[in-house]
Chains A and B, each alone.
Chain A
Amino acid sequence: MTENIFLITLVVLAIVALNTKKLRRAVVYLGAFSLVSSFVYLLYGAPDVAIAEAIIGSTITTVLYLVALRKYQVFSIYYANSVGDQTSRYLNDNSTFLNNLEAFLIQREMEPQLIYSGAPIETIVDQEKFDLAIHHTDQDIWIYGCAEDYQLDAVEEYLLTNYGDLNIHLIRCAEGEDNEA
């Protein structure tokens, strides 16, 4: 009887973990899932397996998943401006643009990290590790992104719907060799 209750709990937890929107919450449900499953092992008379499942399933994998999520979440944006004298006007104009972009990224559960750079855009693209590099010239906004980043599609869609009137060019670069850690 007790076993059946816990087995049903397992199924419910698995479905809930699959259907949550936020990944972090799904990881927590997965930890609870392995805890309950280790208890089921204990009920079936396998305490050895239960200990291993409780430790590996609910401690180590949970922490590993959380670290992986956190590593993926930091989204670094390089911002280079080459407008020249009329910087003040463009900077005011542009800060709302950047703020909205950041708000959009936060909404997608990421942590935007904005870096203002005085270096020319070519060196940034060549040498730095970036997720987005924004180059602002007199009329155009050039945005460089990594082609393998699936977040870039969402960013592009967002920019096209909200900032269609600005001259935005999106360039997908291949993954550089020095982007390897």
Chain B
Amino acid sequence: MTDRSEIISRMTGLLYPFILLFGFYIILNGHASPGGGFQGGAVLASVFITRYLVEPDRCIRLKTLKTAEKTLFVCIILYPAFFLFSTTANHSELMNLTYLVAMNFLIGLKVCSGFTIIFFRFAFYEGGI
């Protein structure tokens, strides 16, 4: 915003770690409790989006985020394929757990980068001003 508010910037600075912690909690605990990759990723993206309200500068690196999103997308496709076709024997409990947590984590990071890209694309490049 044009007139930055000191209160908002201080308070969001205080809140960042907690939002991040909550997002990672939702992602990593998604297989057992409500939540999961998508919701946690959206929480993580809200960190970047509130950062825009505090200091609207262009120092965020969209290109890196785009590469990260593409890599994560390939990982999301490849990992279940390997998981399904690699072992023919019955999957143990621990393997399933790691699979779920890892998939949630990948999806969460991908959703986070996707939301951030959409938002900053919109905020900086669309609409002419």
List, sorted by A's number, 27 A–B pairs whose CB atoms are closer than 8 Å: A47-B34, A48-B34, A48-B35, A48-B39, A50-B34, A52-B39, A55-B39, A55-B46, A59-B42, A59-B46, A59-B49, A60-B46, A60-B119, A63-B53, A64-B122, A67-B52, A67-B122, A68-B122, A68-B127, A71-B126, A72-B127, A76-B129, A129-B129, A180-B128, A181-B127, A181-B128, A181-B129
C-alpha gap A80/B111 in the complex (Å): 48
C-alpha gap A163/B54 in the complex (Å): 42
* Residue of A whose beta carbon sits closest to that of B33: A47
Residues of A within 8 A of B28 (CB): none
Number of A-B contacts (CB under 8 A): 56
Main SS at interface, chain B:
helix
C-alpha gap A74/B127 in the complex (Å): 11
Please provide the chain A residues from 26 to 60 with a CB less than 8 Å away from any CB of chain B in the complex: 47-48, 50-52, 55-56, 59-60
Residues of A within 8 A of B49 (CB): 59-60, 63
Q: Are A179 and B50 in contact (CB under 8 A)?
A: no
Q: Are B123 and A67 in contact (CB under 8 A)?
A: yes
Q: Which residues of A contact B (CB under 8 A)?
A: 47-48, 50-52, 55-56, 59-60, 63-64, 67-68, 70-72, 74, 76, 129, 179-181
C-alpha gap A56/B115 in the complex (Å): 10
Q: A47-B34, A55-B46, A64-B119 are in contact. Are A181 and B53 (CB under 8 A)?
A: no
Residues of B within 8 A of A74 (CB): 129
C-alpha gap A152/B119 in the complex (Å): 29
Which listed residue, B34, B36, B127, touches A71 by the CB 8 Å rule? B127
* B1 lies within 8 A of chain A by Cβ: yes
Residues of B within 8 A of A76 (CB): 129
Q: Which residues of B contact A (CB under 8 A)?
A: 1, 26, 34-36, 38-39, 42-43, 45-46, 49-50, 52-53, 115, 119, 122-123, 125-129
Which of A50, A55, A56 neighbours the largest number of chain B CB atoms within 10 Å of its CB?
A55
Q: Are B125 and A181 in contact (CB under 8 A)?
A: yes
* Residue of B whose beta carbon sits closest to that of A70: B1
Closest Cβ of chain B: how far from A39's Cβ, in Å? 14
Residues of A within 8 A of B39 (CB): 48, 51-52, 55
Which of B1, B26, B42 neighbours the largest number of chain A CB atoms within 10 Å of its CB?
B42
* Residue of B whose beta carbon sits closest to that of A63: B49
Q: Are B119 and A181 in contact (CB under 8 A)?
A: no
Q: Are A179 and B26 in contact (CB under 8 A)?
A: no
If A129-B128, A179-B128 are given as contacts, then 20 extra A-B residue pairs at C-beta distance below 8 Å, sorted by A number, are A51-B35, A51-B39, A55-B43, A55-B46, A59-B46, A59-B49, A60-B42, A60-B45, A60-B119, A63-B53, A67-B122, A67-B123, A71-B126, A71-B129, A76-B129, A129-B129, A180-B128, A181-B126, A181-B127, A181-B128
